Structure 1
Amino acid sequence: MHPTLHTDFLGLVPYEPTYAAMREFTESRTSDTPDQLWICSHPPVFTQGLAGQAGHVLLNPEGPDHIPVVQSNRGGQVTYHGPGQVVGYPLLDLRRRGYFVKEYVHRIEEAVIRTLAPLGVTGHRLAGAPGIYVRLDDPGAHAALNDPPDPRDPFKGLGKIAALGIKVTRHCTYHGVSLNVAMDLSPYGRINPCGYAGLRTVDLATLGVQADPDEVARLLAAKLETWLAR
């Protein structure tokens, strides 16, 4: 019997209360609590993971252009959330689903790859750098990336379209994945995305794919539901 997964589409919601709600849900859940998947987007915010370093926020002026920086307990380093990006937060009991963290990450990445495919974009994994990447010169190309990547420039010719940051406590997950659809990408220029200097971040619109973020949200939710099943 497959564990139940209830999906909620939350719309545009502030980051900090959503983070607090995920944490509270996870810390209070029992072995009988149904798993949930929250799909949403956030107003502009930089979030730091446990490995985050203040120096990776390069520029964040005070005044109307200031973007809040929120410390969180997810893995990884600094990233950006903003309107036009789809965020998925799977709140799962991995023990009940029957797989471990490494496979969980692989399944999330696979769900993103399968979300991009019908939009004509081929997503790629990159060894040692969680998330999903695309070829900037030919986003639909199916040829595998060089593995291992060039140590001098592992992101050469690539753009990051989806970022991953998770937390697992007592076998239960929160935080998750963000997929860039049609957003203002300029705030990424203020940070070293995911801790990587010079890493270019892209969205579907940059790649020439005109997609409704709400439709992409429903597509991503469906793929996550499928690929996170037992």
Structure 2
Amino acid sequence: MCATPVSVPPVSSDPALPGERFAPPIVRWRGNEPYQASFDAMREFTAQRDAQTPDELWLVEHPPVFTLGQAGKPEHLLIADSGIPLVQIDRGGQITYHGPGQVVAYLLLDLRRRKLMVRELVTLIEQAVIETLAAYNLAGERKAGAPGIYVPEGASGLSAAHVGAKVAALGLKISHGCSYHGVSLNVSMDLSPFLAINPCGYAGLETVDMATLGAQAPWHDVAATLAARLEANLAAHWDSTLAATLSVAEAAASDPLAEAAERETAADAAVSGQPHQPQAGVTPAA
């Protein structure tokens, strides 16, 4: 089941122009969908996209499935006959579980067009999860070297009994400068399948959901909150990138020595007949 996508204007193939803004990703509510169908659709979308293809954000809930990352070790599946299918996929990371009551957000983004590094994207996603949890009065934190979001030290209320437990998992695939896969946030679900695996390759790692931590929230509300935070953080990243670009341009334009050196270099190039290459950090005058 899919909702009508949000209408957005066309996206420029190179939006790095003063004052230009990205349209937000098209949000697609795909509903409850078998994992293999989502996986195939993500790969097809990424393979067929071009420089003008708008980015998309897919919100999905999957029937029970274990997924094993590209370099995942099968021995992290502890119970082979659990009755839950195992799908080998191409994201990073080890094994995880998807099932009813979990919000899965897939980010199909052109990272080159957004001037967005992979590590920046991971940080952006994790921050969106932390902000989503905060909207329901829950705390979350990152752990160095272990992507995802965890219950922090000093957590209060029901969370205090689950310090260190994982509430959200993250895994990405980058192909030709574009991302797919994304993040899963446990809302209110049967957590017993996590006992059949070493979650994300960590033996004994506890996995919790928001309900266990004391937040009773509908799946759709949490999905909408997460989507809004992802969109806001993507927009903030682009705004900061644009501001930095404009600051460099303004600094160069306001430096008479740099401007004079640029004119002199251009004149020398005209005399020599060689093409002029702007100096690093110097913006040619209009």
Contact 2:139–2:155 (Cα < 8 Å) also in 1: no
Pairs within 5 Å for 1:23-62: 23-61=43-81
SS of 1:90's partner is strand
Kept after mapping to 2: 8 A contact 1:3/1:96: no
Partner residue in 1 for 2:201: 195
Displacement after TM superposition at 1:135 (Å): 3.4
Contact 1:48 1:78 in 2 (8 A): yes
5+ residue gaps, structure 1, are 142-155
Deviation digits for residues 3-31 of structure 1, max 9, x if unmatched? 33110111110000110000000011001
Structure 2 counterpart SS, 1:227: helix
1: CA distance between counterparts of 2:172 and 2:224? 21
Q: Tell whether 2:80 aligns with 1:67.
A: no
Q: Distance in 1 between matches of 2:32 and 2:53?
A: 25
Whether contact under 8 Å (1:11, 1:40) holds in the other structure is: yes
Q: Residue 75 of structure 1 aligns to which amino acid in structure 2?
A: G
**What letter is aligned with 1:108?**
I
Q: 2:187 aligns with which of 153, 164, 181?
A: 181
CA contact (8 A) 1:121 1:140 kept: no
> Which structure shows the bigger proportion of residues in strand conformation?
1
Larger Rg: 2
Q: TM-score, normalized by length of structure 1?
A: 0.89
Partner residue of 2:231 out of 212, 225, 229: 225
Greater share of helix: 2
Whether the aligned pair in 2 keeps the contact of 1:87 and 1:177 (CA below 8 Å) is: yes
| Aligned pair partner of 1:106 in 94, 118, 123 | 123
The answer to whether structure 1 residue 3 and structure 2 residue 9 are counterparts is: no
> Under a length normalisation based on structure 2, what TM-score does the superposition of the two structures give?
0.72
The structural deviation recorded for 1:139 is 4.9
Q: What residue is the counterpart of 1:158 in the other structure? A: 164
Q: 1:194 & 1:139 partners in 2: Cα distance?
A: 25
Higher relative contact order, structure no. (Cα contacts within 8 Å, ≥ 6 residues apart): 1
1:135 aligned counterpart, secondary structure: coil
Q: Between the two proteins, what is the percent identity of the paired residues?
A: 56
The code of the aligned residue for 2:179 comes to T
Once the two structures are TM-superposed, the CA of residue 137 in structure 1 deviates from its matched residue by 6.8
Q: Which runs of 5+ in 2 are unaligned?
A: 1-19, 239-286
Matches within 5 A, 1:56-135: 56-61=76-81, 65-135=82-152
* Residues 165 and 87 of structure 1, relative CA distance in 2, 3 Å threshold: same
Size of the aligned set, in residue pairs, is 213
Aligned to 2:251: none
Distance 1:78 1:136 in 2: 25
